[in-house]
Amino acid sequence: MRDLLRIASGQGFWGDDLDAPVRQVEGGPIDVLMLDYLAEVTMSIMQKQRARDPGAGYARDFVPLMSRIFPAVAERGIRVVTNAGGVNPRGCAEALVEAGREAGVAGRVRIGRVEGDDILERLPELIAAGHALENMETGEPLTSILDRVQSANVYIGAAPIVEALERGAHVIVTGRSTDTALTYGPMMHAFGWSPDDHDRLAAGVVAGHINECGAQSTGGNCLADWWTLPDMATVGFPIVEARPDGSFVVTKHPGTGGRVTRRTVTEQIVYEMGDPSTYITPDVVADFTTIRLDDDGPDRVKVTGVKGGPRTPFLKASIAYSDGWKATGTLTYAWPDAVAKARAADRVLRERMDRLGLVFDEVRTELVGWDSTHGPLAGEPPADLPEVQLRIGVRGPDRSAVERFTRELAPLILTGPPSVTGFAGGRPRVQEIMAYWPALIRREAVEPGLAVDVVEV
């Protein structure tokens, strides 16, 4: 049994720093590299990509990344655990096998893939079996929007990751695993934690939460004393040094930028937090009010004391459905009386849209540079504001109305209030709205369908 497991975070979302995982591998000793690629919206984007190309539907950046770090995986035995598989873990794993052969690690690396979280094809069968998949916020049954569903995945826990590690996988690709399971799954495997060991699993969940947004726990986006954070150009991503008793230290590689303090870690702990005493995951319910943080030297924070309780009978489904169209455009107005000009332009635009008979569910106007983030708390703008950006958006079920809106902005330059610029980006893009439908489903409807496969490169 090992006494220490170092789990490095290399990616906090699809689009994060491309070189961070390589810096984690090259910057010092690590045992596991976890890469989180998924967010609520990501699955529906991937589902659309897969509809156009059956080979797509996963985080494509992950394959060229692995080409760079396959040698380290083969030579140092680093395990890589990621939900990069998106809606196509199989396609992702196949691409990885090919990339591994090209990288010269054939016969030395095994790829594990986890499938079964994708319930899109199973929805009619599940509904017929009595799983209503009611919206957790509104209580409506899924049947009310079933014909518009674009993706449906269930957040799954660590069991398949543990199984893949037991079967010798070096790289594990999942679909909608929870972000935290990518960190505590390897801890369960390394330390032999049982699924009933609630406190240790809860500690692993806290470690996973600290890891899952990359540099957001090491100084990135940190408000406290942000101007003093050193070398953010080379910010170090977090590394969890986990111990078998459930305690762990959050740190980063020596010589990297950013900082690890109780403040940087606490900001990440409260990020996207609901009821802190009841942080529900597929494997355990963690109590974040029991976390104890202590300084443990420079750029080291020790985490102890975490308590947890038994898992619930349910898993959470993440369902995305088409819910109309939207577009947002901007124009910039200059001093003098920038705000007055922007407001007059907004009025002209709205009157023209009314005359055209365009109907929307919402038309929203914000003044970037004044009230677009704090709303009414910004108060009335000063008369001498040097400039302001008019930001206007529309949303509705009728695509052609939204499309027409995008053609009404540019005309304002020659037909509306003066001193206007900033239209170089061209006409706004019409976007399809993918709304989010959170629902619970009994775990026995999903867990028997989870499948782990391990193949040699």
Partner 1 sequence: MTRVPLVHLAHARSGDKGDTANVGLIAYDPAHYPLLVEAVTVEAVKAHFTGLVHGPVERFELPNLHALNFLLHGALGGGGTRSLMNDAQGKVFSTALLRMEIDVPDEVAAAVRGRGRVPAGWTPDRYGSP
Using CA atoms, how far residue 263 sits from 15, 164, 249, 319, 383, in Å, is: 25, 36, 14, 34, 39
- Please, what is the minimum distance in Å from the beta carbon of residue 365 to partner 1? 9
- Which residue in 199, 175, 178 sits closest to 315, CA to CA? 178
- Please, what is the minimum distance in Å from the beta carbon of residue 322 to partner 1? 10
Q: Side-chain half-sphere of 369: how many Cα atoms within 13 Å?
A: 19
Show Cβ contacts of residue 261 under 8 Å, excluding neighbours closer than 6 positions.
295, 299, 301
* 54 vs 274, beta carbon nearer partner 1: 274
- Please, what is the minimum distance in Å from the beta carbon of residue 227 to partner 1? 5
Query: By CB neighbour count within 10 A (0-12 exposed, 13-18 middle, 19+ buried), where does 288 fall?
Result: buried
| ∠ CA 199-205-208, rounded to 5° | 145
- Please, what is the minimum distance in Å from the beta carbon of residue 270 to partner 1? 2
* 97 vs 435, beta carbon nearer partner 1: 435
* 229 vs 457, beta carbon nearer partner 1: 229
* 62 vs 288, beta carbon nearer partner 1: 288
What phi and psi, each to the nearest 5 degrees, are found at residue 154? -105, 130
Asked if omega into 254 is within 30° of 0 (cis), the reply is no
What phi and psi, each to the nearest 5 degrees, are found at residue 400? -65, -30
* 175 vs 219, beta carbon nearer partner 1: 219
- Please, what is the minimum distance in Å from the beta carbon of residue 284 to partner 1? 18
* 71 vs 305, beta carbon nearer partner 1: 305
* Length, in residues, of the chain: 457
Can you give the binding site for partner 1, defined by CB under 8 A?
40-41, 137, 221-225, 227-232, 257, 263, 266-277, 288-293, 305, 323-324, 326, 328, 362, 364, 366, 368, 372-377, 391, 393-395, 431, 433-436, 438
Q: Cite the beta strand spans of 102-197 per DSSP E.
A: 110-115, 149-154, 171-173
**For the packed helices 159-166 and 181-191, what is the interaxial angle rounded to 10 degrees?**
50
* 355 vs 374, beta carbon nearer partner 1: 374
* 67 vs 290, beta carbon nearer partner 1: 290
Helices (H), ranges, 192-259: 198-211
- Please, what is the minimum distance in Å from the beta carbon of residue 394 to partner 1? 7
* 3 vs 137, beta carbon nearer partner 1: 137
Alpha-carbon gap, residue 363 to 155, rounded angstroms: 34
Asked whether the CA dihedral 373, 378, 381, 384 is positive or negative, the reply is negative
**Structural tokens at position 138:** 């509104």
Alpha-carbon gap, residue 124 to 120, rounded angstroms: 9
